[in-house]
Chains A and B, each alone.
Chain A
Amino acid sequence: MTTHTVNRRDFIRVTAAAGGGLVLGFNWLSACSPSSRQAKAAVHDLNAFVKIDTDGLVTIMAPNPEIGQGVKTALPMIVAEELDVDWKKISIVQAGLDTGKYSRQVAGGSGAVRSSWAPFREAGATGRQMLVNAAAAEWQVDPAACSTEAGKVWHKESGKSTGYGDLVEKAAALPVPKNVALKDPSAFRIIGKRMPNYDNKAIVTGSIKYGIDTRRKGMLYAAIIHPPAFGQKLQHFDDSEAKKQPGVQQVVSFDNNIAVLARSTWEAMQGAKAIKADWSDDSKLESTGDYADNFRKILDRPSQEKPRRKDGNIRQAFAGAARVIEAEYAAPFLPHNTMEPMNFFADVREDGVELYGPVQTPEKAQSDVSKLLGIPKEKIKVGMPRTGGGFGRRLKSDFVTEAAMISKLAKAPVNLIWRREDDMGGGDYRPMGLYRYRAALDQEGRLIAWHHHSVGVTGNPSRQDSFPAGAVPHLQVDALEYKSPVTTGPWRAPNHNFIAFSEESFLDDIAHQVKKDPVTFRLELLEQAKQHPVGKVDYDPDRYAGVIRKVTEMAGWGQPRPGVYQGFAAHFSFSTHVAEIVELIRAGDKLKISKVYCAVDCGTVVNLSGAETEVEGGIIDGIGHALYGELTLTRGRPDQTNYDHYRLIRMREAPEVEVQFIRNNEKPTGLGEPGLPPAGAALANAIFAATGKRLRSQPFIKSGFFG
C-alpha cells in the first residue's frame, strides 16, 4: 500500500539546511501516519523534516531518540514555528536512524536543541518560503507581498489565501530558496509557549509502545545471565534444568554470557534462574571498601600529578598564603536505574538486520553491530521507540550487540529483556571517586589559589574548567584514573553531577571560614573573572551572576525566617547557568526539605512546559541521589540489585520546586542535565546552615539527619 520513492535529493541534511539540495520527491507516507490510513491524499516531502499532504496535514519528523527529555515535542516546535503552521493540527512522527538525512541523532550531552536550533529553523523557513513562492507564482504577485499564518499563504492586497495542502505539489517543482529569512523572536507563536508532550494521550491510555513492548511474528523473548561479579569469567554451565522449564525454547552462550529464549518474558527469566553456572574465582576481586583506601593512597603519592589545567603557580601561592583550607569529598558508584530496563529487539537474517529499541546513540548501535557481525551498516536498520529513560546508560550499546548476537545464534527474531537485577548490576556506573581540594587565601580573605586533585574509577573524574576556574590567579586541576573491572560511564550530567557538589560545598565552606556571605563571596569571584579573567573562561560571568541574583530574590536570601535554613549553590554546565537554593525545616528530630528555588539561564526556552519539568525533575533527581544513591560491591559483586535495597527518591520525599527562566533571545543552551548538578550542593550547604555540620560524602542519608 505504500510506494516509497526515495529520491536522494528529496532531503536536506540538517547541517546544510540552507544550502539547498531540496528537491521534492513524490513520496507516500509510511503506513503508520494518520493520513495514509485514509490513503487518499498525496504526501510530499518538503524536506527531511516536513511532509505535507494535499489535504493540508503537516507531518514533522522527530529525528532524535526521545528518552523523556522532550525533544520529540521541542524539535518539531522549532520547525513548526518557522513553517508557520497550527501546532494543534500537525502530527509528529519519530524518524528511524538515517545518517543520510539527519545528523546527530543522539540523546545526550543536553545537545539536541542546542545543535538543532539553527538548522531546524532553516528547514522550517525554507519549506515556508517554497510554499509562499508557489502561491505567489499562481497569483502572479511578488512573494515578498505574501505572508503566512497557521498553514495558509496570504496575499493581503488582493485578499487571496490558499492552504499549504493545495500548494505543496506546486511548491515541489520550484527551486529551493537559499538564505531564507528567519522570524524575529517577537513574532514567535509556538516557541516559548507551553506545549504538552506530543505523546501524552498515547502514554496515559497505555497505547504507546516502548522497546520492551516490541512484538513480532516468530519472536522469542530472551533473558540473559551476565557474570555475577565484575571481573568474573564463565567456566561452565548446565542448562538441562532450564530446558525443561515450560515455554523455554533455546539456550545460547557467547563471551561470558548465557541467554535463555522462551515464548514469554517470565518463562525466559525462569529458565535463566534454572541455569547452573560456574564462575571463576572471585576472592581477588575488589570491594568498594578497598577502592576508598586505594584512592587515598594514590592521591597521597606526590608524583601522581597529572594537570588538566594549570593557571599561575599554585606551589608558590600556597607557600605564601595567609591561610590554607582543605577538604575531601567522596562519590559512590551510581547505577542509572532507568525505569524501562535495558532491552532490545534484533532480527539478524541473511539479507539484513533489523534493530529496534531504546538507545541514546542509534548510530553507534548500528556500527557496533556491524563490526560484531561483519555485516555492512547499510544492511542494518535501526528504529527508535519512545524510551523509558536514559540518564546516560543507553549511550552504550552493549545490550544491542547482545540482542544481535542472541538473534544470530538462535536464528530467530528476539526481544532481549534484562531483569531489574541484570540492569542494576549491569555496570557503566557513575564512577566512584575521591576529590581533594585545597584553597589558599590572602590576608583579606581573598581566594588566591585553588588545587583540585581527584581520582575516579576509569576516565577523567573531573571538570577542569568549571568555576572558580577563571576567577583565581593560581589554579591547578589534577585528575587521575583508577583502572578497575567495574565499568563506568556517563551518568546524567557526567562529572558535573558530583563536581558541582564538591566545588560548591567547598566554596561555601571557605566563605563561612572567612566570614563572608556565600553568595557575596561568589559574586565577588565572578566580578574577578569578568575584570581579570585567568586562562580559559567557559561561563559568562554576567549571566552567572544573573541567575544568582534571580534565585536570591526568589528565595529571600539574607532575610532569615525562624526555623528555615537555606543553602545556596550554582553551576554552569552544557552552556547553561543555574543557581539553586534549598530550604530545610525541622520535622521532629530530623530535617525535611521544604522547598527548592531555581533560576536558569538557558537562552531561548523552546517549550516552557517541557523545560520547566526537565529542571524540576533534574533537581529532585539530584537531591534524591545525593540523599540515597549508593551502589556498593563485595568482591566485585553489587550488594544492591533491586529497589528493595536500592533507595530512589519517592513522592513523599520530593520537595516543592519553583523554577524561573531568565528571559532573553540568546541561542538555546542545554537543559536536560544542568538542573541536576547544583541540587546536592545546595542541600549540603543548607544542612550546614541547619546543623553546623559539613557533609562531604554521599549519600547524605548516612548522616542521620533525614528519615
Chain B
Amino acid sequence: MEYEQRMGDGRRIMMAKEDIITDIENGSNEAAEKGKIPALTDDDMDHLLNIFLDPSRMATVDVGDEVVMSTDEGYAVFSGNYSEMGGAGIPMDATSANIAMERVMGADCVTYAWVDYNFKPSKAVITQLQQEIESILLNTISPCSYGAMPNLGSYYKPDGPFDNVGDLMAEGKIMEALEVYKQVAEDATEDMVWVTGKLAKMGLDNLNIDTAGAAGDGDFLAALKATEILKKTIPNFSVEVGMANEFVLGIDGTMEYDSMRLAGMYPHDQVVACEKAGVDIYGPVCNTNTRKSTPWNVARAIAFTKECSNVANIPVHPNMGMGVGGVPMVENPTLDAVTKASKAMVEIANVDGI
C-alpha cells in the first residue's frame, strides 16, 4: 500500500510506509548531526508517522491544544500578488484587509507592512505608515504589529550608499569589506529603531523583525541591537524576531552579541541570543529541501524546533510558510502539507504559536 505525500517543491508523490519511516528517521538524524542536537525519540517518530499516514485532507490538533497565530499581514493575504506573495489579488486597502483578517479569518493579531517590506525604504514613507497604523488601530481590536526586514542587502549600491561586501571580498579587500559590513549593520540598527519609534507613537503594539539574519551575522546582530534599544526606550512594547534561515550565515564570522558568536548559530542558540536582547517572541526557521519528501523535511524541522522549545524561556512561534518549517516551497503551500507540519510542530515540538 502507498500513501500520498508531497515533495519539498509541492509535487504529489506516493510513498510506501517503510519509505516514510526511513525518511522520517533520516530527516531527524540530519538535524541531529547538523545542529548537534538530540534526534527525535521513537515516540516522536511514531507520532509523526501517524500524522503522515492519515489520509485526511487536512490535519488539526485536539480541542484545548490550539496555539495562537502571529499571522502574515492581511494586506499581503488579500491584496498581495499571487506569484510573489501568495496573495489573493483582491483590490483592498490595508485597513479593510486587516479588518477582514480579524473578523473573517479570526486572526489573533493584525499586521501592517510597507509593500517593499524593508526598514530602509520605510523611512521615506513614514507619515503614510503612521496613518495606516492609526487607521488599523482605530478599526481593529487585536494587537497590531508592524513587520519589516533588516535586509542589509538594501544598503548596497545601487539601492544604498555602500559598496557590496560580497564584491569587495571577491576583489580581495577583506578588511575593507568587514568594515563596510559593520557600518551597514549599524545603519540598519538605527533605521529599525527610528522607524519603530515613529510607529510606536501611533500606538503600535509589536514589531516583527522578519527574516533576521538574511544577509548574515551582521543582519542578525542589527536585529538584536535594535531590539535591545527598543525594549529600553519604548515602555510596554513587544518585539518578535523571525529568522530568515536555520543557521546564521557568517558574512563576517566574528560578530558577537553578549559574548556569543552569531555565525553558525542554529535555532536553539539563536533563541538564547534573542532572549538576552529582550525579544518577546522568537520565530525559528528550518529550511525546506525541495529535493526531499515532506516527511523528511518535517522530521528535520521538528527536531530542530523541539530542541529550541526545550531551551527557550520565551514563546517560540516557528515560521510555517512557503519553504520553511517543513512546508513545501510553492507559492500557495498545500493544505495537507501545511496542516500536518503545523500539527507536528504543536504536538511534538511543543511550540507556543505559529
A complexed with B: no
